[in-house]
């Protein structure tokens, strides 16, 4: 355990920041220092934004997105194409697709992928709810925007099977998504192209 360089309040800030993905203890110290230096313009507003988020954030019961309202802003948006349902693994993938602006549809967040190794089984994911939503007569196509990993593809097959009786067109992202690739790391252009040239699953 390295020796503390600051009081417990600052140490706690550093320790919490170090839990963020991509931030190790070193970067966390740098981030903490930056926050402290910009106390009025960054630290205080960030603290307030986090307090509000912690109080108001809910998971959308419709699609699994996170927002401050339920149904979420996307589910409430009447301008979206109701015939398309885009299935994603995680909220980060939903956000990545929204950033790409490739599709004006509604989403369904599975909350993970099937994994024999990690013991993730169908009942742990939002698959039953997806089948329910896909059964809506307004839905004609389900786009499986899952990561091109082994588990992502296993999940795609399982979900396709679970929806087969509905007779919906089921498509998946096309080229541009590298094998083993995660959507959140793709640039918007690649994601956009992958949605546009989706193929039947």
- In the complex, which residues of this chain contact Zn ion (CB under 5 A)? 60, 62-63, 65, 71-72, 75
Q: Between β-strands 58-59 and 81-88, what pairing exists: parallel, antiparallel or unpaired?
A: unpaired
Compute the distance between CA of residue 29 and CA of residue 50 in angstroms, rounded to an integer: 19
CB 167, min distance to Zn ion, A: 25
Closer of 62 and 141 to Zn ion (Cβ): 62
Closer of 65 and 190 to Zn ion (Cβ): 65
CB 65, min distance to Zn ion, A: 4
Closer of 98 and 141 to Zn ion (Cβ): 98
CB 6, min distance to Zn ion, A: 41
Helices (H), the chain: 8-17, 25-37, 44-56, 73-76, 91-100, 127-134, 150-163, 188-196
**The residue to which tokens 């004609």 are assigned:** 140
Q: Between β-strands 199-200 and 169-172, what pairing exists: parallel, antiparallel or unpaired?
A: antiparallel
Closer of 60 and 113 to Zn ion (Cβ): 60
**Residue 143 β-bridge partners:** 86, 171
CB 95, min distance to Zn ion, A: 13
Closer of 35 and 125 to Zn ion (Cβ): 125
CB 60, min distance to Zn ion, A: 3
65 Cβ contact list (under 8 Å, min separation 6) = 59, 72, 74, 75, 91, 94, 107, 109
């Amino acid at each position: 355990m390295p020796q503390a360089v600051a009081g417990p309040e600052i140490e706690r800030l550093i320790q919490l920041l170090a839990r963020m993905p991509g931030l190790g203890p070193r970067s966390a110290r740098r981030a903490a220092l930056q926050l402290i230096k910009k106390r009025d313009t960054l630290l205080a507003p960030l603290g307030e934004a986090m307090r509000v988020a912690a109080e108001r954030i809910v998971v959308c019961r419709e699609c699994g997105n996170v927002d401050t309202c339920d149904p979420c802003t996307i589910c409430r948006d009447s301008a979206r194409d109701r015939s398309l349902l885009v299935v994603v693994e995680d909220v980060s993938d939903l956000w990545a697709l929204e950033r790409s602006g490739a599709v004006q549809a509604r989403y369904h967040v599975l909350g993970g992928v099937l994994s024999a190794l990690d013991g993730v089984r169908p009942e742990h994911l939002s698959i039953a709810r997806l089948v329910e939503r896909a059964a809506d007569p307004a839905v004609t196509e389900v786009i499986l925007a899952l990561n091109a990993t082994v588990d992502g593809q296993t999940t795609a097959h399982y979900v396709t099977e679970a929806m087969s009786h509905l007779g919906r067109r089921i498509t998946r992202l096309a080229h541009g998504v590298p094998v083993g690739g995660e959507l959140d790391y793709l640039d918007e252009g690649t994601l956009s192209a992958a949605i546009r040239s989706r193929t039947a699953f």
